[in-house]
Amino acid sequence: MADAILGNPLEEFSLIARLIAKLPQSRQTILGPGDDCAILAPAQKSQIVTVDSMVEGVHFKIEWTTPEALGARSLTVNLSDIAAMGGRPRAGVINLAIRPGLGLRFFDRLYAGLAKEAAAAKIDIVGGNITRASELAITITVMGEAPDGAMRRDTARAGDEIYVTGTAGDAAAGLRILAGEMRARGRHRAYLVNRYLSPSARLEAGRRLARMLPLPSAIDVSDGLAQDLGHVLERSGVGAEVEAAAIPRSEAYRAVVGDDLALALGGGDDYELLFCLRRGESAAVLSRRLGVAVSRIGRIVSGRQVRLIGAGGKRQRTLGVTGGVAGWNQLREH
């Protein structure tokens, strides 16, 4: 994990390397940062692995967030993929692309946020790599295990009920508030912006879901509810009917955005779980079982169409035919 920079290595590199080296390790990590590879204890269960990246100007603006929140969120987006499989995170490695203008204090705070999130999720940051670039980018690979079987996108069947945790569209509204495209004040503003800047990965809900039989199909809502549902439908070769009125929206969303479903269906970054159950359960029972609010939003049907059933069940709108990326773009075209 060395970095061969053309020219002299930056002084900051070794300083930042010390930050990584400070992150605590559990006993399952045999060797942490500082060698060519990290060494992990053997894994008895199926392993799962995911990679995600946060690029300045693409996924975040540095003036919108604290370094701590950015560090935490960089890990959360990966933990959310682990949650969507019903897995337990185990170890992560970080590739940090740094640009001029960000000092050691910034990275100290970024790593503090990351370390706190890692500790909460019981994951070791076992290594990393630092490189120069023209924009800050934090790329994290997380490895985990799926002791109860891994929930996949390709196992939804016609007749399954579709559920989602939490509320939809909050993060997208928060992003638009930060970007000055939407106006909000007070606690509603704080709630929505916080949902964007400091999302939670539904690790515990995912673990509990993975204990249900038959194993649910699941995905995390990162691209937006319609698009992520589209991924499940495409991989499973099925269609869906979604009830507009059932899309869960927060009080803040209703207060700031109103009745418009566009962000709830099309906005990303919520990091909630969307899942499909063969044997339907009431939302109340599932909410208790998973430890998080759950809403039933529709059902899987045969065919390849996605239909949005309007409030009252009268209006019907085709969300888009699955295949390729079903989601927001398709939604806007219809």
- Among residue numbers 210 through 229, which ones bind its own copies (CB under 8 A)? 218-220, 222-223, 228
Q: According to the binding rule CB under 8 A, does residue 53 interact with its own copies?
A: yes
Indicate the burial class of 137 (C-beta count within 10 angstroms; 0-12, 13-18, 19 or more).
buried
Q: Which of 94, 242, 283, 290 binds its own copies (CB under 8 A)?
A: 94
List Cβ neighbours of 196 (8 Å cut-off, separation of 6 or more): 170, 171, 172, 173, 174, 175, 178, 269
Give me 147's structure tokens: 């002791």
Q: Tell me the angle at which helices 11-22 and 104-120 cross, rounded to the nearest 10 degrees.
A: 20
Contact 326, 226 (CB under 8 A): yes
CB of 312 to its own copies, least distance (A): 31
Q: According to the binding rule CB under 8 A, does residue 75 interact with its own copies?
A: no
Residue 38: CB atoms within 10 Å = 21
Strand pairing partners for 116?
Answer: none
Q: According to the binding rule CB under 8 A, does residue 71 interact with its own copies?
A: no
Rounded CA separation 90/113 (Å)? 18
**In terms of CB distance, is 70 or 243 closer to its own copies?**
70
Q: Three-state DSSP class for 275?
A: strand
Give, as ranges, the residues between 7 and 26 that touch its own copies (CB under 8 A): 8-9, 13-14
Q: According to the binding rule CB under 8 A, does residue 308 interact with its own copies?
A: no
Q: According to the binding rule CB under 8 A, does residue 204 interact with its own copies?
A: no
Q: According to the binding rule CB under 8 A, does residue 135 interact with its own copies?
A: yes
Q: Which of 21, 58, 104, 213 binds its own copies (CB under 8 A)?
A: 58
Q: Phi, psi (5° rounding) for residue 178?
A: -60, -35
Q: According to the binding rule CB under 8 A, does residue 47 interact with its own copies?
A: yes
| Per-residue contact flags (x/-) with its own copies for residues 174 to 203, judged by CB under 8 A | -x----------------------------
CB of 178 to its own copies, least distance (A): 11
Strand pairing partners for 91?
Answer: 124, 143
CB of 80 to its own copies, least distance (A): 8
Q: Three-state DSSP class for 200?
A: coil
CB of 276 to its own copies, least distance (A): 14
Q: According to the binding rule CB under 8 A, does residue 124 interact with its own copies?
A: no
